[in-house]
Each structure stands twice: as structure tokens, then as C-alpha cells.
Amino acid sequence: MPLLHPDLFVPHLVSLLGAVDGLRTLDAGCGRGRNTLFLARLGAVVTGVDHAPEMVAACRRSATAEGLKVCCVAGVAETLPFASNCFDLALCTSVLESMGAPAAAAAAAELHRVVRPGGHLLVVTAALEGSEAGAGGAPPYQARLTSRKQLARWFGGWRTAELLHLRLVEPASAAVSAQWALIARRAAG
């Protein structure tokens, strides 16, 4: 089984945090587990959640093939099946753009709920600013593009460490040619 490589921003996040060994980590929208497995290799205690049972199964198979202990469960980011304040770190990469605005706002609220005060967050999503005019509904990839104002509204209770806006050289879709990468810390208290 080929080694899955993490999202570009996950190693960057790790470089900012330092050691992640022992951190209780959530990968919301884990897919096949590329970020889940990367963090588990570094010693994080990772739980991946995805809405697609086939992705959860693929994540489990990849973890087993590498001899890694991870928890992969079925669920949705809008109603995470976890207790409040139970994670030190949460990732949500390339997930919010696949949701309508109300569901994305609910997912942001859930991330806030499950990350402990002082914990960290990485969100990567398709950016409205810098993407093609009229984008967001053209097949095959129907992305909901996120504005800077929406990010501020959804993640206003977090202290921003970095907010990166990137133009994509080779976008997967004509509709999405820019991304936001938000690295933030939940206010303590």
C-alpha cells in the first residue's frame, strides 16, 4: 500500500506547534487518512471522522498496514460524536467547501466545542477571494467558496496564528483557484 502524504499545511502546523507526541487530535473529514496517519506517525493520538463509510474503512486499512493505532469513525463535522473540550488539536482540511453555508457554520461551531481552551485548529478551505468569478456551482466539483468575512464570523473565538491566502497554480477545479489556511488557537477560558 503506498504511503499517503499529508495535506501541505499539516507539516507546517506541526512545525509551529513543535512536538505533537501525545496530543489528542481530531481529523474532521479524514478521508483515506493522509493527515490522520501523518500525525499518528509523529505520536499524536488521532481520531479521524468522515461521513463516508468507505473512507473510514480505507483509513482503518491504511493504519493497520502501517501498524499505527488510530481511531476512525463515521460521522459528520456538523454534529461531531465527541465530548466537549476533548481534543488538543483539530484539523478540517478541504471539507467546508463541500457543505452549504449553514452546515459549514455548524461544523465550525462543533470544532470550537470539541477543542479544549488553549487547543489548536487548522482549517483549509476554498477561498472566495482569488477564485474565478461566478465559481461555486460548475460540475464536476461544486465548491462553496468561503470569504474572509465568513472565516472571521465562524472562527472569531480563536486567536489567529496564521491566515494564509494561496493562489493555486494547478487547481483541481476551474471554480477554485485559491485557498484559505487558518491556523488558530482557542482562547483559554
Predicted local confidence at residue 1, as pLDDT: 59
Is the pLDDT at 134 greater than 60? The verdict is no
In whole angstroms, give the CA distance from residue 35 to residue 12. Answer: 12
Half-sphere exposure of 143 (CA within 13 A, CB side): 25
Predicted local confidence at residue 176, as pLDDT: 80
Is the pLDDT at 137 greater than 50? The verdict is no
Q: Exposed, middle or buried by CB within 10 Å (0-12, 13-18, 19+), for 42?
A: middle
For residues 144-152, give the mean pLDDT: 90
In whole angstroms, give the CA distance from residue 165 to residue 186. Answer: 21
Alpha-carbon dihedral of residues 178, 187, 88, 73, nearest 10 degrees? -60
Phi-psi region of 57 (alpha: psi -120 to 50; beta: other; left: phi over 0): alpha
User: Sorting pLDDT into bands at 50, 70 and 90, what band is 55?
Assistant: very high
Q: Enter the pTM of the model.
A: 0.90
DSSP-H helix ranges across 19-176? 34-41, 53-66, 101-114, 148-154
For residues 139-150, give the mean pLDDT: 73
Share above pLDDT 90 across residues of the chain, in percent, rounded to a whole number = 69
Per the model's pLDDT, the better-predicted residue between 133 and 89 turns out to be 89
For residues 19-34, give the mean pLDDT: 96
Per the model's pLDDT, the better-predicted residue between 168 and 30 turns out to be 30
Domains of the chain: 9-186 (3.40.50.150)
What is the pairing mode between strands 178-186 and 158-167?
antiparallel
Predicted local confidence at residue 80, as pLDDT: 97
- Return the closest-CA partner of residue 166 out of 133, 141, 115, 131: 131
Count of beta carbons in the 10 Å neighbourhood of residue 146: 23
Mean pLDDT, all residues of the chain: 89
Predicted local confidence at residue 133, as pLDDT: 52
Residue 94 sits at the vertex; the CA angle it makes with 128 and 63, to the nearest 5 degrees, is 170
Is the pLDDT at 15 greater than 70? The verdict is yes
- Return the closest-CA partner of residue 122 out of 1, 2, 8, 4: 8
Cβ atoms of residues 14 and 40 within 8 Å:
no
Using one digit for the tens of pLDDT, what is the confidence trace for 161-183?
999 998 887 766 667 888 999 99
